[in-house]
Amino acid sequence: MISINLSGKNALVTGGTGELGRVLARNLAKCGANVALHYFKNQARALDLQSELSSGGRKIVIVQANVTDSLSVTAMQKTLQQDFGPVDILVINAVEQYPWKSILDQPVEDFEGQFQACVMQSVLLCKAFVPAMIAKRWGRVIGINTECAMQYQKLQSAYVSGKRGMDGLLRVLAREVGEHRITVNQVAPGWTITEKDRVNRTEKQPDYEKSVPLKRRGEDQEIAHAVAFLASDLASFITGAYIPVCGGNVMPAI
């Protein structure tokens, strides 16, 4: 039987208290990883999740940081190095929310904010945590991208530009660190069903679903499965990939 075993690995999930982040963290812990839960403002939710996951016997820590600020990320790295250990699996998941508007109406600050959240978060986290992976000659960097990066839909300009910048950065990183047995990949969810949808009963979105070849929205757990796979040795020869997990709604072409 093939299974995903992350025992002995330390994973950091940024945005670990968010709708998707919580599921990513739970899944990595179920696969055996110790998990560092990053949060920005919601300490109470982070503590609740830490309590929940600690019952499984894994080492679970919480850490606060502004992932777009260099000093804050450096402080997070030092805290984790002391209290948690070197990070083997880095999941870049934190996002910044803002109203979507046309390019002409979108405030410039939103473009800058998405650049900070997508590109600079990735730069700062990689500078902080990849050197330890190089020293161990093993590591996984997994960015959470989006199907939107291939769609170019109206009102998505700031989000798409930020995520495409993230894509370019991580593909270059994959070339630069591959010789150290570090893989760098991206998971690109579609419009995913999360716990908020289940509570609000908004899982069904017919207008969106009709464009998806599988005729449904994906589940958050399905995104988490893809992340766990890329974090494992089962994916040891996959790097530089952008993998849509969106039911075929976007299909990278050769």
The rounded Cα 253 to chain-centroid distance in angstroms is 23
Give me the catalytic one of 39, 159, 208, 242: 159
Cα separation, 130 vs 152, in Å, equals 31
DSSP labels, 164-199: HHHHHHHHHHHHHHGGGTEEEEEEEE-S-B-HHHHH
Altogether, the residues listed in the chain come to a count of: 254
DSSP-derived 3-state class of residue 223: helix
* Contacts (Cβ under 8 Å, ≥6 apart) of 187: 142, 143, 144, 145, 223, 226, 227, 230, 243, 245
The dihedral of CA 183, 186, 192, 195: what is its sign? positive
* Annotation says 159 is catalytic: yes
* Contacts (Cβ under 8 Å, ≥6 apart) of 179: none
* Contacts (Cβ under 8 Å, ≥6 apart) of 207: none
Cα separation, 74 vs 231, in Å, equals 23
Q: Which residue has the tokens 């796979």?
A: 229
Cα separation, 35 vs 171, in Å, equals 25
Residue 236 CB-half CA count within 13 A? 8
Looking at the annotation, which residues are catalytic? Answer: 159
